[in-house]
Structure 1
Amino acid sequence: MKILIDADACPVVDLAIEIALKYKIETVLYCDKNHVLEKKNSKTIYVNAGDDAVDFELLRNVKENDIVITQDFGLASMILSKKAHCINQNGLIYNKFNIESLLFSRHMSKKMRNNGKRTKGPKKREEKDDLSFKISLTSLIENYK
């Protein structure tokens, strides 16, 4: 088991590394070359900038039972198809029961934006989001390690 992080703009990189260290799990950060992200106790994979380049590199490297941290529903769906686990930065664990509704919601929001309507952005991150993430990631690790 490894923890792979879609690290561009991910607010829980340090927290994920801290948890991974506790369980002696390798952590790999994926980001494009426009970002410099060097963290102690993790490996960083840089990819050329481009639409979904980070996602495709991460997808190419994920193995069954790995844990991926991403807020991208599309990537999460592909990760699940590879029998890996996926969680977002707020502790939501993606699974076969919630991914379709999340993808549909994303599709409808995009459709509305294309028609000139405004959609809500993400709410401001709170301390409770970090706690939820920590609980969910720890649970994933303990259940599947």
Structure 2
Amino acid sequence: MTLFIDADACPVKDECIRVAERQSVPVKLVCNGGIRPPVHPLVETVYVTEGPDEADKWIAERAGVGDVVVTGDIPLAAKCVAAGARVLKHDGEALTEANIGNVLATRDLMADLRAADPFRQGGGKGFSKADRSRFLDALDRTLRAAARQS
């Protein structure tokens, strides 16, 4: 069992490491660079070559049954769910076989709407303390469930 973190724009890296340490789960922080690697025996920072989606490809090739992936990238989440991994978004929302199709379709629809209307950009809600708290609880539960599965 491994906790994979799509680390380039992840607002919950520290929280992931805290929860993983409590449960003795190895962590792979995967990024294109630009983050300071934590000095921790359970954490390995993986730097991939620069280029679009290289970190996503690296995670998708390795994540599988018994692993947990933290990402905000919906196409990566879909690949990981298909491979049998458990996936969490940064706000603690679990992405599963039951909901990944709808989440992917909504993402595509919103991308189309933004492309059709140049004035409809951004506007998403900020990352709150409640999101962080919800994420911590969800990650703790998800890692325990993955450990039971392994």
Q: Specify the TM-score bucket, using the shorter chain as the normaliser.
A: over 0.9
Runs of 4+ deviating beyond 4 Å: none
* Aligned pair partner of 1:140 in 139, 142, 146: 142
Contact preservation (8 Å) 2:68, 2:85: yes
Q: Which of structures 1 and 2 has the larger relative contact order (alpha carbons within 8 angstroms, sep 6+)? A: 2
Which segments of 5 or more consecutive residues in structure 2 lack a partner in the other structure?
none
What is the CA-CA distance between 1:79 and the residue it aligns to?
0.0
Give the 3-state SS of the residue equivalent to 1:103 in structure 2.
helix
Residue 44 (structure 2) pairs with residue 43 (structure 1): yes
| 2:19 equivalent in structure 1 | 19
* Aligned pair partner of 2:130 in 123, 128, 134: 128
- Mapped to 1, the partners of 2:29 and 2:81 lie a distance apart of 19
Contact preservation (8 Å) 2:8, 2:35: no
Which segments of 5 or more consecutive residues in structure 1 lack a partner in the other structure?
none
Amino acid at match of 2:18: E
What is the CA-CA distance between 1:40 and the residue it aligns to?
2.3
Contact preservation (8 Å) 2:67, 2:146: no
| 1:75 equivalent in structure 2 | 76
Give the 3-state SS of the residue equivalent to 2:46 in structure 1.
strand
Moved more, 41-50 or 2-11: 41-50
| 1:65 equivalent in structure 2 | 66
What is the CA-CA distance between 1:120 and the residue it aligns to?
4.6
Amino acid at match of 1:25: V
- Mapped to 1, the partners of 2:83 and 2:139 lie a distance apart of 19
What is the CA-CA distance between 1:61 and the residue it aligns to?
1.9
CA RMSD of superposed structures (Å)? 1.2
1:74-109 C-alpha deviation (Å, 9 max, x unpaired): 100000111111001100010111111111111111
- Mapped to 2, the partners of 1:144 and 1:122 lie a distance apart of 31
| 2:98 equivalent in structure 1 | 97
Identity of aligned residues (%): 27
